[in-house]
Homo-oligomer: A and B are copies of this chain.
C-alpha cells in the first residue's frame, strides 16, 4: 500500500484536526486523540470495543480508523487496529501518552453501584423476562438495555432512596426497568407508560404471572399524560428519544406527573455527545428548572445499539422551585431520531452488492440486515459501510 508518512513538523493538534475533519468527526481532534490512545493502551483493539470505550458510534470509529490508516498512523490487523512505528512515535512523543492502565473501577464498572449478594437469582429471573421482548422498533428509538443495566438502575434508585415507599413512573420502558424494580421486592408503586403495545402487553403479562403491582398504560407521550397521573409521583425514570424535542417533551411530561414539591427526582438516560450538543441538551434541562445532582457516563449498556457505541450516560435531576413544564398540550412536531435526522446509510456486502439502510428504508438497521442477509446474494457477514446520505 502506498501510504504517505505523516509529517511530524506539522503542529500536533493540526494533524489531529485534519483527521477529524476528513472523517467528518463532530467530536473533533480530542476524539481522534482518544482513539489513538485506546489503540496504544490495548496494543490492538477492535472497532466495537473502541466504540464502547470512547462512547462513539461504530460507523464513526470506522471512518476515523480509515483516515488514521491513510495517514500511516495505524495498520489494520485481524484483531482490529494497531499503531504503526510512526503512529507509536506520534502517540508517545507528540501526544505525550505513556500510561496504559485503565483506572475505571472494575468492581462497579464506573457506575458507583455494587451488586448485593442476592444478585444472581434476580438477574437470572430478569433475563427470563427480557428474552420475551419483541425485537426493537428503531423508528421509536428503541434500543434494548442489557438486563444488568436495568437491574443496576433499580439498585441505583434504591441506594438514592428513590424507590422504597415511593411512587415511580417509567416514561417508556423498552428496557424492562419496571420489572427489575419489581424483582427487588420492596414497597414501591410502579407505573409504566409506553407507546408500544407489544411492550406494555409483555410487561402486563409478566406482572400478572408473578403478581407484581405494575400499572401499564399504552400511551403516546405526544399527548399529555392521563389526568389521574398528574402530580402523583416521587420518581421518574426515562430514556427518551435522543433528540432535543424528544428530551423536551419527555421532561415536560415527567414534570407533569411529579408531585409539586422540591426534591422530586428524574432519572434520565441520554447518549454521550460532542460538547456543543451536550450544551444544547443541558439548556433544555435548565430551562425546565431542574438541577443536575449526578451524571455518570457509560452507566447504561445496550444490546447492539451501535448508533451510540452501545452505552449512554445517566443523570439524576432534582426538582427546584423553578421547575416547570415547557410543553403543556398535545405535541405535533417530530421527536424521534429517524424523523428528525432521517439518514440512509449504504453498506456493501462481501460480494460488493450495495444495500440502503435507514429509518425510511425497507431495512431499518444494520442489525436487521445481518439478520436478513444481503437482499441480493443472501450473505450474512462482512458488511462494510460505504457512505451516508442525508435526507432533507
Binds B, one of A44-52, A128-136, A291-299, A384-392: A291-299
Which residues does chain B contribute within 8 Å of A165, judged by CB atoms? 94-97
A98 in the interface (beta carbon within 8 A): yes
A167 to chain B minimum Cβ distance, whole angstroms, is 11
Per-residue B-contact encoding for A95-132, CB less than 8 Å = 1, 0 else: 11111011111111011111110000000000000000
CA–CA, A156 and B102, complex, Å: 10
Is A263's CB under 8 angstroms from B291's CB? no
CB distance from A6 to the nearest CB of B (A): 17
The yes or no answer to A327 lying at the interface (CB within 8 A) is no
Given A95-B164, A105-B105, A263-B30, CB of A275 within 8 Å of CB of B112:
no
- For A24, list chain B residues within 8 Å (CB): none
A37-B103 contact in complex given A186-B98, A263-B30, A320-B279, C-beta closer than 8 Å = no
Residues on B with beta carbons closer than 8 Å to the beta carbon of A164: 95-99
Chain A residues within 8 Å of B, Cβ to Cβ: 27-30, 33-34, 37, 94-99, 101-108, 110-116, 155-156, 158-159, 161, 164-166, 184, 186-188, 262-263, 274-276, 278-279, 282-283, 286, 289-297, 315, 318-322
Q: Indicate whether A103 sits within 8 Å of B98 (C-beta atoms), given known contacts A262-B28, A278-B318.
A: no
Copies in the complex: 2
Residue on B nearest A94 in the bound complex, by CB = B165
Write the chain B residue with the least CB distance to A152.
B103
Report which of B99, B276, B290 forms a contact with A262, defined as CB distance below 8 A.
Answer: B276
Chain B nearest Cβ from A264, distance in angstroms: 9
* A30 neighbours in B (Cβ, 8 Å): 263
Are B291 and A282 in touch, CB under 8 angstroms? yes
Given A161-B34, A294-B296, A297-B294, are A104 and B112 also a contact pair (CB < 8 Å)? yes
Chain B residue numbers with a CB within 8 Å of A275 are 262-263, 291, 318-320
Additional A-B contacts beyond A28-B262, A286-B286 (16; CB < 8 A): A98-B164, A98-B186, A101-B116, A103-B113, A103-B115, A104-B114, A105-B108, A105-B113, A262-B276, A275-B318, A275-B320, A276-B291, A278-B291, A279-B290, A293-B297, A295-B295
Shortest CB distance A155–B (Å): 5
